Structure 1
Amino acid sequence: MRLLIIWISLLMTPACWALPALQVTEAAPGVFVHVSEHHWPDRKNHGEIANIGFIVGDDCVAIIDSGGSPQQGLALRKAVKNATPKPVCYVINTHVHPDHIYGNRAFKEKGVRFVGHYKLARAMATRAPHYLGKADELLDIRVSPENIIPPDIQVKQTLKLNLGNRELVLTAHPSAHTDNDLSVYDKNTDTLWLADLLFLEHIPVIDGSIRGWLKEMERLEKNHYKLVIPGHGRLVKDWPASLQPQKAYLQRMASEIRTMIKQGKTLEYAVAHVGLSEKNNWQLFEQFHRKNVTIAFAELEWED
């Protein structure tokens, strides 16, 4: 009987509940990425749908987005420990969406600073009630206010972080995918972690400004990078060619909406007709396209 009790006790220890380490690939020296599949966030995938990972310097590690669930955050932390004995010093959230921030709590400990766009804290505070209320219902995960951690360090334009012989340049972008987009550039490997400013295969999702996003793409495509990491999709080694499908989708949508506005067409008409030629070019088109048209129409309707 005593052996049975001991055996049951061992089964109930946290070690037996330990998640496996998140699968990551070293895409460039010291740059580790978990590339996710394209899914609608639901109770099967628990919202774990974004590309996330970390960058290792001589002194410490920077997390780039913590994952779509508290469990994925823990799995990412284990992946870091498997890759390096160096401590985590920064958690960089590229924007407010749940698939990028729900793992934050896994890294909340002494010495870790959270970093984000200067508008991120406001976006988190505004959306937290909705996010927290829907996490269980939609994603089958338990999320508390402690999982949504606002930045200790806010980026207004650019900010340099040194991980030890490894400088990261963080850029706060104008409103585009969201109004709180942040990118991370690693000088050592000429890698741009662009997050959700770039979608491949997965249809782009507008939650900010279509005009702003188009302007940011025009600026970004003038530069050349050895590696670009999107928020959704394969890793990119052919920049800026890989940007063109997203650019074409947003340009086509903006052009067609502007034409319909001039013709006096309604929002409902636009939602039913804009951008349908792009349907076969993108995964999750049915889930996101109509919302994109709605957001873009509301913005373009009031442009000069």
Structure 2
Amino acid sequence: MITTRRRACALIGATATIGLPNLPFAQARLSYDLQPKPAGPGIWMIEGSTDYFSMDNGGAIVNCVLLQGDSGLIVIDTGPSRRFGEALAGVARTLDLRGVSAVVNTHHHPDHFFGNQVFATQPIHALGDTIRLAQDEGDGFADNMYRLLGDWMRGTEVVPPRNVLDGGEVTIDGRAFTVLPLSGHTAADMALLDQRSGLLIAGDLVFHDRAPTTPSADLAQWSAALDTLEATNAAAILPGHGPLDQAGASIAQTRAYLDWLNTTLRQSARDGLDMIEVMQLPLPERFAAMGAQPDEYQRSVSHLFPDIELAVLPRAN
């Protein structure tokens, strides 16, 4: 059941947009125009905005993937809301009248699994730790998403994945994947290599022309995960955010940004800068041009700098 707070946030979002008397119009106005783009033979992507969550984009910032299976389409990540999941299901039916046969969630952040309730009758796969994290943190994420997106979230309930995927070779609805259980962006990040096409579906371990998000990040583990992804020699890379990468540049770009971020925050701690001063540092041009900047950099400072300060600065005895 939707909590009172979430229900109130949904109403506030509608009121701020057009006023309570026009709620049916609000529901028609708040709709997602999802356009599938070919990403390989029998593969399509829904490309998300490279901005942060906003009332303008309805939280549609994530890349979702649809792959042809034997009995329907396999969906990788389901978006930020019930409304998005319904739009995604509609797109799937235009590609295959049988609709969605299975779902995979790459990790537990809300833009990747809050559309799950639309597909609750189908198998919904994830790493075991992702399932646990979605169960533990899902309600908190939902409260935050309702505050950010208001009426876009109307009717959205947390439906964690329930079918555990381990690493290695797996077959989902007749399609073979190599599952890579990793971490770094969160404590449990799944990447999938589609064996038929060689496409690497990297989830949020890889960002492309969009600044990486770090609320759950461990930068050392993330760097190790990028090593593993690079070693797959994938034919193409579909990142969690940003355009399809057919040239292999996105892993290097993600690594360069995270290395710069880590180095900058550590040097700032050694230089005695406070958090506000670190947030005001100029970004290198190649990173300033990424989507969601400078806001994403400033959020990363708030996420990471306190622990880096503790690690870098000497302790008084």
| Alpha-carbon shift at residue 282 of structure 1 (Å) | 1.7
Q: How does 1:52-201 map to 2 (within 5 A)?
A: 52-86=64-98, 88-109=100-121, 112-140=122-150, 141-142=152-153, 147-158=157-168, 160-164=170-174, 166-174=175-183, 176-201=184-209
Aligned to 1:268: 275
- The Cα shift of 1:91 comes to 1.0
Residues 14-25 of structure 1 mapped to structure 2, 5 A cutoff: 22-25=34-37
**Given the alignment of the two structures, is residue 252 of structure 1 paired with residue 263 of structure 2, yes or no?**
no
Q: Secondary structure at the match of 1:41?
A: coil
Aligned residue-pair number:
282
Q: Distance in 2 between matches of 1:83 and 1:58?
A: 13
Matched to 1:272, the amino acid is M
**Following superposition of structure 1 onto structure 2, how do residues 197-216 of structure 1 map, counting pairs within 5 Å?**
197-206=205-214, 207-216=216-225
Letter matched to residue 54 of structure 1: L
Measured in 2, the distance between the counterparts of 1:44 and 1:213 equals 31
Determine which of 55, 78, 95 is the counterpart of 1:43: 55
Per-residue CA deviation, residues 110-137 of structure 1 (Å, 9 max, x unaligned), is xx11111222222223322322323333
| Rounded Cα–Cα distance in structure 1 between residues aligned with 2:66 and 2:173 | 11
Which of 230, 237, 248 is 2:239 aligned to?
A: 230
SS at match of 2:200: strand
- Cα contact 1:256–1:274 (8 A) shared by 2: no
Contact 1:47/1:139 (8 A) holds in 2: yes
Shift of 1:154: 2.0
Q: CA separation in 1, counterparts of 2:267 and 2:188?
A: 29
Q: Which moved more, 1:227-236 or 1:276-285?
A: 276-285
Asked if the contact 1:102/1:143 (under 8 Å) is kept, the reply is no
Instruction: State the AA in 1 paired with 2:143.
Output: G
Structure 2 residue runs without a partner (length 5+):
1-23, 313-317
Which amino acid counterpart does residue 110 of structure 2 have in structure 1? P
Counterparts of 1:80 and 1:184, CA distance in 2 = 20
| 8 Å CA contact 1:21, 1:76 repeated in 2 | no
Query: Is the 1:67–1:99 Cα contact (8 Å) retained in structure 2?
Result: yes
Q: Cα RMSD (Å) of the superposition?
A: 2.7
Q: Quote the Cα distance in structure 2 between the aligned partners of 1:21 and 1:295.
A: 33
TM-score relative to the length of structure 1: 0.82
1:5 match: none
User: Any idea what the Cα deviations from partners look like across 1:134-169, whole Å, max 9, x if unmatched?
Assistant: 33331123355x7322222223434512322x2122
Task: Tell me by how many angstroms 1:40 deviates.
Answer: 1.9
Q: Secondary structure at the match of 1:90?
A: strand
Offset, 1:234:
0.8
Is the contact made by 2:211 and 2:293 (CA closer than 8 Å) also made in structure 1? Answer: yes
Partners of 1:253 and 1:274 within 8 A in 2: no
Structure 1: which 5+ runs fail to align? 1-11
Give the TM-score, by structure 2 length.
0.79
Cα displacement string for residues 68-113 of structure 1 (whole angstroms, at most 9, x for unaligned residues): 221111111111111113453321111112211121111112xx11
Matches within 5 A, 1:25-40: 25-40=37-52
The 1:272–1:79 alpha-carbon spacing in structure 2 relative to 1, beyond 3 Å, is closer
